[in-house]
Amino acid sequence: MTNTPSEAPAEWPYWSLFLFGHFGGASAGSRRLNVEIYTSLAARGGSRVGRIRSAAGFNARRREESDAFLSGTNVNEAVDPAPTEPLGREGVTAVGRCRSSESMRRIDSFLDSSPNGRKTLSCDPRDFHHGLLTLLVGAMLAAPWLGTVLPGGKLFLIPGTALAVGWILFAFRRYLAQLDELSLRIQYEAIAFSFGMTLLLGVTAASASSVTHLTVHPGWIVMAEPLRGLGLVLAARKYR
Amino acid sequence: MTNRLRVLRAERRWSQAALAGRLSVSRQTVNAIENEKYDPSLPLAFKLGEVFGLSIEEIFQPNGAAPPAA
């Protein structure tokens, strides 16, 4: 059965919304939304100079002023603490590397401050530019689906998908390149968990389909991403 | 593996973040090594030795082994 321009393939809305929302909208610069992979879109791989690598996002604790006081029961925090991280829990960029640009200042003025008064927006203008690029890729990915409504949109199906997937892989690889060894290990364990669980759940659902009469949609592979998130939580807790 | 990282760090009055900065790793990594949840790679172990001015054996010991006499 072929799709006519007025007949949208059923899976495209889900794929487009998932990928567009996942990698596009949240990567436009806000650190508050940039949990984990979103930072990949802002990460600068290759150079490790002057940077403090992320400690797997949610497992890293932000240093506060109160860390200056030495606890009587442990010596985790000495009297000479490092300066408060300027960019929150992710704390990726060293202070000396922060630069500003007119476009960032404009965006910054529209964003709320975090509860402790610090701006949650990254000071690196490349975050913003990468976010815009990602939005563009997301839009291209959505184009085939839109193209089923708008004539001629199917021309973007293959290049749009290839560009989006390629960009996501490139950004993720760059994100991994700037992690330290423990964070990298946590990421690898999460990927292994995700792979195993997706396979296990997929095979189980497929095997049960003869009994339950439920079919496994190819879009099931999208489940790998939330499962990777679950794997990250479990792996990060293990090393806490 | 057991290690004397916490003691060595306290002797120098360094915070975990300060040590992490010297090692170019995250504070979480230093914390995981101190709590013996994670054994560092060989390059990081050498770097730790370099930062503290000690050999690896003086920082890390196999479980149950006593640290070598100075």
- Residue A164 CA to residue A67 CA, distance in Å, equals 42
Best of B12, B14, B26, B41 to disrupt the A interface (most A CBs within 10 Å) is B26
Tokens of A164: 């989006």
- Of A204, A65, A231, nearest to B17 (Cα)? A65
Q: Pick the residue with more confidence: B68 or B42?
A: B42
Best of A76, A186, A234 to disrupt the B interface (most B CBs within 10 Å) is A76
- A49 and B CB contact within 8 Å: no
DSSP string, A6-74: TS--TTHHHHHHHHIIIIIGGGSSBTTT--GGGGGGT---S--TTB----SGGGSPPP-GGGGSPPSS-
- Residue A44 CA to residue A91 CA, distance in Å, equals 13
- B65 and A CB contact within 8 Å: no
Distance, first Cα to last Cα, chain B: 19
CB of A78 closer than 8 Å to CB of B9? yes
**Residue segments in chain A with a per-residue pLDDT below the cut of 70:** 1-158, 160-161, 164, 218-219
Instruction: Give the distance from residue A181's alpha carbon to the nearest chain B alpha carbon, in angstroms.
Output: 8
Residue A199's identity, in one-letter code, is: L
Kindly report the number of other CB atoms within 10 A of residue B3's CB atom: 21
- A76 and B CB contact within 8 Å: yes
- B13 and A CB contact within 8 Å: yes
Instruction: Give the distance from residue B46's alpha carbon to the nearest chain A alpha carbon, in angstroms.
Output: 14
Percentage with pLDDT > 90 across chain B: 86
pLDDT confidence of residue B40? 95
- A31 and B CB contact within 8 Å: no
pTM as predicted: 0.56
Q: Point out the residue among B9, B13, B26 whose CB comes nearest to the CB of A183.
A: B26
Residue B43's closest chain A neighbor by CA? Answer: A181
Determine whether the interchain pair A52/B13 forms a contact, defined as Cβ–Cβ distance below 8 Å. Answer: no
Statement: residue B17 has pLDDT above 50: yes
Q: Point out the residue among A79, A180, A240 whose CB comes nearest to the CB of B26.
A: A180
Q: Pick the residue with more confidence: B41 or A227?
A: B41
Q: Point out the residue among A63, A80, A239 whose CB comes nearest to the CB of B38.
A: A239
| Average confidence score pLDDT of chain B | 90
pLDDT confidence of residue A173? 82
Determine whether the interchain pair B15/A181 forms a contact, defined as Cβ–Cβ distance below 8 Å. Answer: no
* Residues in chain B within 8 Å Cβ distance of A63: 17, 27
- A72 and B CB contact within 8 Å: no
Residue partners of B29: CB distance under 8 A and separation at least 6: A55, A180, A181, A182, A183, B20, B23, B38, B40, B44
Instruction: Give the distance from residue B37's alpha carbon to the nearest chain A alpha carbon, in angstroms.
Output: 6
HEC per residue, A76-112: CCCCCCCCCCCCCCCCCECHHHCCCCHHHHHHHCCCC
- A79 and B CB contact within 8 Å: yes
The residues pairing with A93 across neighbouring beta strands, listed in sequence order, are A51
The residues pairing with A121 across neighbouring beta strands, listed in sequence order, are A30
pLDDT confidence of residue A109? 42
